[in-house]
Amino acid sequence: MFRELHHVVLDELGSRGALDWSRAIIDGASVRAKKGGSLTGPSPVDRGKTGSKIHVLSECAGLPLVVRVSAANTNDADALKPLVMALPAVKSRRGPRRRTPGKLHADKAYYHAALRRWVRDRGMSVRITHKGVESNQRLGRHRWVIERTMAWLTGYRRLTLRYERHARHFLGFLTLGAAITCYKKLAKLTT
């Protein structure tokens, strides 16, 4: 239900030309889980506590296009394919619906040769920091946007800590948070 709401808001933003498809940025953040349940695991920071990980793929300005939930001990690279495959076909101001950004930016956690090839095969340029070769400073010019998006989403009380036992409930709140974040941008355009 909330996914459809999120897609409706994205369609409205796309039809007004408010989505920048020149690049997409992907990242994940861990949140602590108060109760056990599905899609929880040991936190990478404190193994004694369980948690979940929020994965977000946003457009160039930071509006979340796709959100997912996994266990906290899940490797970030495992979330790249499901996020890219879940990109919705969004209305554009002119022409057909848009589903593929020009570039995909990510940090070192997503650097795998097979993933880079997979993303290129889908028609996107890949900008993932090489392990041991490049510093994070060069990629930081664009990556601060996804960090701000994570801050927007974790600013909602129900997303700061995971209280729900069922992952689908937490994902529902996360999708609702993404829809509200996009709606706030839409409200600024209409006033």
What are the pLDDT digits (tens) for 164-177? 888 899 999 999 99
Average pLDDT over residues 67-77: 90
For 120-140, what is each residue's pLDDT tens digit?
A: 999 999 988 776 665 555 556
What's the rounded Cα separation, in Å, for the pair 117 and 167? Answer: 31
Whether residue 191 lies inside any domain: the answer is no
- Residue range of the domain that includes 91: 2-186
What is the model's pLDDT at position 23? 92
**Residue corresponding to tokens 């989505």:** 19
Report yes or no on 154 lying in a domain.
Answer: yes
The mean pLDDT of the chain is 87
Structural domains in the chain (count): 1
**Predicted pLDDT at 140:** 60
**Which CB contacts under 8 angstroms, 24+ apart, belong to 14-19?**
14/90, 14/91, 14/92, 14/93, 14/97, 14/98, 15/91, 15/92, 15/93, 16/93, 16/186, 16/189, 17/92, 17/93, 18/185, 18/186, 18/189, 19/59, 19/61, 19/63, 19/90, 19/98
- Higher pLDDT: 79 or 129? It is 79
Q: How far apart are CA 55 and CA 157, in angstroms?
A: 17
| 126 located within any domain | yes
The pLDDT score that the predictor gives to residue 134 is 54
| pLDDT value, residue 19 | 93
pLDDT digits (tens, 9 = 90+) for 35-48: 777 777 777 767 67
d(CA 187, CA 167) in angstroms, rounded, equals 30
pLDDT at 13 > cutoff 60: yes
Residue tagged 């974790």 (tokens): 154
**Is the pTM here over 0.85, yes or no?**
yes
pLDDT tens figures, 88-113: 999 988 878 888 999 999 888 888 88
Instruction: List the CATH number of the domain containing 19.
Output: 3.30.420.10
pLDDT confidence band for 26 (50 / 70 / 90): very high
- Quote the pLDDT of residue 132: 64
Q: What is the pLDDT of residue 60?
A: 92
